[in-house]
Amino acid sequence: QSDLPLPASPRVLTVSNQKGGVGKTTTTVNLAAALARSGARVVVIDLDPQGNASTALGVEHRAETPSVYDVIVGEALLDDVVQKSPEFEHLYCVPATIHLAGAEIELVSLVAREQRLRTALDSYLAEQAELGEPVHYVFIDCPPSLGLLTINAFVAAREVLIPIQCEYYALEGLSQLLNSIKLIERHLNPDLRVSTILMTMYDGRTNLAQQVVAEVREHFPAETLSTLIPRNVRISEAPSFGQSVISYDQSSAGSLSYLEAAAEIAKRGAPD
Ligand code: ADP
Ligand code: MG
């Protein structure tokens, strides 16, 4: 089962696109599950107040649950709030609760407001390594905006993974996202790279989808994965069972595509 190479140090990927509904959460959860299944230790940080990643991973995230909110405002350590997902041995989730909706505003008046997640994550990762339980991958699921929560994710990560939906407006708004990433790189996190672009909800029967893929590949030949995620009903059903599609229906086209995308990411390794 563990045929994928493990990274020597933790790879921290922020899954981001300021558009909603493009497959950020779906991609986060299913890539994390696929890598955990192959034997990697994987932590998902749910940074969207909606808490969809927490739901999909089957972890508790009622309002009173200790969550990433408590970490960001400095009242808890990541280790205090992280939960084990019921699905795979080494899959963990830092849940989001509705309190996170207020964090965007509360953060404005806090010191080092852009670095709060980074500081918490760095010490958590160092601690886990010392315990002999090194984390291999961290995926941060971002809200559909470029506010302070997303900035915290960009500062905490080395890599950005951008899911792009195979539809007409796919590239629209992307330049805004890339500009923001460039600003973060210049001022807050010089190591940040867009390492991975993943095309989602692909419907090969339409010319449009094929054109969009061709266009994205032309602009981002090095970043775009060769795996395409098809539009697949099993993918959309899985979250309501608190499962990734990989457990929900392992042999579905959706599951196979996320397993393949995860393998590509593992084999390509971290950017230099
Ligand atoms: P985001 O996090 O970017 O807002 P989601 O991952 O929540 O996007 O996806 C939006 C909706 O589309 C969800 O209902 C999800 O189940 C569905 N969805 C995502 N990817 C696929 C896919 N490949 N096939 C079918 N439905 C999908
Ligand atoms: Mg989402």
pLDDT of residue 168: 82
Q: ipTM of the predicted structure?
A: 0.99
How many C-beta atoms lie closer than 10 Å to residue 83's C-beta? 18
Nearest CA to ligand 1 atom 15: 236
pLDDT, tens digit, 9 for 90 and up, residues 34-82: 999 999 999 999 999 999 999 999 999 999 999 999 999 999 999 999 9
pLDDT, tens digit, 9 for 90 and up, residues 8-36: 999 999 999 999 999 999 999 999 999 99
Helix, strand, or coil here: 231?
coil
pLDDT, tens digit, 9 for 90 and up, residues 155-214: 999 999 999 999 888 888 899 999 999 999 999 999 999 999 999 999 999 999 999 999
Torsion, CA 209, CA 263, CA 149, CA 83, rounded to 10: 130
1 domain-assigned: no
List the one residue out of 17, 5, 6 whose CA is nearest residue 167: 17
146 domain-assigned: yes
207 domain-assigned: yes
What is the CATH number for 92?
3.40.50.300
Nearest CA to ligand 1 atom 20: 23
pLDDT of residue 232: 98
What total number of domains does the chain contain? 1
Q: Is 236 in the pocket of ligand 1 (CB under 6 A)?
A: yes
2 domain-assigned: no
272 domain-assigned: no
Q: Distance, CA 235 to ligand 1 centroid (Å)?
A: 8
239 domain-assigned: yes
Q: Distance, CA 153 to ligand 1 centroid (Å)?
A: 21
* Domain residue limits at 121: 11-267
CB-count exposure of residue 175 (10 Å: 0-12, 13-18, 19+):
exposed
Q: What percent of the chain clears pLDDT 70, i.e. is strictly above it?
A: 99
Nearest ligand to the C-alpha atom of residue 27 = 1
Q: Is 9 in the pocket of ligand 1 (CB under 6 A)?
A: no
Nearest ligand to the C-alpha atom of residue 46 = 2
5 domain-assigned: no
Determine the Cα–Cα distance for residues 123 and 253; give it in Å rounded to an integer: 38
Helix (H), strand (E) counts: the chain: 12, 8
4 domain-assigned: no
